Amino acid sequence: MLLLTTIVGGAAFLWPFFADHTFSEVHGQDLPWLFAVVLGLLALVLLSQVTSVGLDAKQVAVLGVLAAVGGALRVLSAGTAGIEPLFVALILGGRVLGPGMAFLLGNLAMVTGAFLTSGIGPWLPFQMLTAGWVALGAALLPRVTGRAEVALLTAYAAVSSFAYGAVMNLWFWPFLSASAAPTGASFEPGASVLTNAAHYGLFYLATSLGWDLARAIVTSGLVALASRPVLRTLRRAVRLAAFADA
């Protein structure tokens, strides 16, 4: 299920590169909305599947509280360029919780942020998915300990900051594809993958590289500084909560 959602998600972001010429020309403007709806629905189905075994009270509480950390950080940092400590919560939280819970955490943190600001918009499903990926990635990184783990997570924080920006920009890029699009940086329906990739690259450079750079610096800096004590605190909590009974 996670795989299928990821495929749909990938399609949602990457369709401008592959979609059929005529189709894109006619429906290019509607597709991002269509994907927002479809992706939102699939995210819900995925969430219901992941939790169909029933989360116990502790899991719900820990997830809820960590999502609150993420959501609150998002609200606090709203509008400050690049300062997105949310990523720290996602990466470190995801690292400790393990893949399934990590993906949930990413989703929930974004939902919480959106609810807190009453900001449910078409971008939310995309953010949920991408944040889920970021947290999932942290959980899937190889197991190392001590300084190596700090270094690994710091590097991952930097990489994922850029990746998040690049992927998130993709979803609204096609809005530029209408007849009045700026030349050279916009989506050209029917053009080759390479052309469009080059166009997108330019678009990305022009619009969000600066922000993502700031985000990468802040996030990896915070991860480098805070990851050791934070991971220990989180692991202690997970240990305390792990009195699973039969």
Partner 1 sequence: MIELQDVAVTYAGAARPTIAGATLRIDEGEFVLVVGPTGSGKSTLLRCLNGLVPHFSGGTVSGRVVIDGRDTRDHRPRDLAEVVGFVGQDPMASFVTDTVEDEIAYGMETLGVDPTAMRRRVEETLDLLGLASVRDRPLAQLSGGQQQRVAIAAVLAAGPRVLVLDEPTSALDPVGAEEVLAALHRLVHDVGLTVVLAEHRLERVIHYADQIVVIDGGRVSPLRHPADAMIDSPVHPPVVALGRSMLWSPLPLSVREARRAARGLRGQLGHLGHLGPVEAGGPVGPLGRSGHVSEPGADGPVTTPVNNEPTKAAVGTHVTVKRDGIVALDEVTVSFADHAVTAVMGRNGAGKSTLLLGLAGLLRPSSGSLRVMGQDPAQLRPSARVGVVGLVPQDPGVLLYADSVADECRAADRDLGAPPGRTAALVREIYGELPGDAHPSDLSEGQRLALALAIILAGSPHVLLLDEPTRGLDYAAKGHLVGLLRRIANAGTAVILATHDVELVAEVADRVVVLADGQIVADGPARSVIAGSPAFAPQIAKIMHPVPLLTVADVSAALEPAS
Partner 2 sequence: MALVAHSRHRMVHPVAWWAWGIGLAAAASHTTNPILLVLIVVIAAWVVVERRELGAIDAFVPFLLIGLGAIAFRVVMTVVFGNGIPGGTIILDLPSVRLPSWVAGIRLGGPVSLEGVVAAAAEGARLATTLACLGAANALASPKRLLRYAPATLYDIGTAVVVALTFAPQLVELAGRVRTARQLRGHSGRGLREVARIIVPVLSGTLDRSLDLAASMESRGYGRVPALSRRQRTGASSLALVGAAGVVAGLFGVMSPSIGGVFGLPTLVLGVLVSAGALMVGARTDTRTAYRRDPWRSPEWILSAMGAAVALSFLLAESRGIPGMALAQVPLAWPELPWVPAAILAACALAIPATPLPPRLAARRRGLTHVSPPQGEVS
Residues of the shown chain interacting with partner 1 in the complex, contacts defined by CB under 8 A: 57-58, 229, 232-233, 236, 243, 245
Considering the complex, what minimum distance in angstroms separates the CB of residue 221 from partner 2?
5
Name which of partner 2, partner 1, none residue 53 binds, using a CB cut-off of 5 to 8 Å depending on partner kind.
Answer: partner 2
Name which of partner 2, partner 1, none residue 15 binds, using a CB cut-off of 5 to 8 Å depending on partner kind.
Answer: partner 2
CA distance 141 to 95: 8
Q: Which residues fall within 8 angstroms of residue 87, CB to CB, at 6 or more apart?
A: 134, 157, 160, 161, 164, 215, 219
Task: Considering the complex, state which of residue 142 and residue 195 has its C-beta at the smaller distance from partner 2.
Answer: 195
Name which of partner 1, partner 2, none residue 142 binds, using a CB cut-off of 5 to 8 Å depending on partner kind.
Answer: none
In single-letter form, the type of residue at position 152 comes to L
Task: Considering the complex, state which of residue 142 and residue 146 has its C-beta at the smaller distance from partner 2.
Answer: 146
CA distance 198 to 200: 5
Name which of partner 2, partner 1, none residue 222 binds, using a CB cut-off of 5 to 8 Å depending on partner kind.
Answer: partner 2
Task: Considering the complex, state which of residue 144 and residue 184 has its C-beta at the smaller distance from partner 2.
Answer: 184
Considering the complex, what minimum distance in angstroms separates the CB of residue 229 from partner 1?
5
Considering the complex, what minimum distance in angstroms separates the CB of residue 141 from partner 2?
20
CA distance 113 to 118: 8
CA distance 128 to 166: 15
Q: Does residue 133 contact residue 161 with C-beta atoms inside 8 Å?
A: no
Name which of partner 1, partner 2, none residue 243 binds, using a CB cut-off of 5 to 8 Å depending on partner kind.
Answer: partner 1
Q: DSSP string of 104-119?
A: HHHHHHHHHHHHHTT-
Considering the complex, what minimum distance in angstroms separates the CB of residue 242 from partner 1?
9
Name which of partner 1, partner 2, none residue 81 binds, using a CB cut-off of 5 to 8 Å depending on partner kind.
Answer: none
Considering the complex, what minimum distance in angstroms separates the CB of residue 4 from partner 2?
4
38 burial (CB, 10 Å; 0-12 / 13-18 / 19+) is middle
Tokens describing residue 194: 């390479």
Considering the complex, what minimum distance in angstroms separates the CB of residue 231 from partner 1?
10
Residue recorded with tokens 């599947």: 49
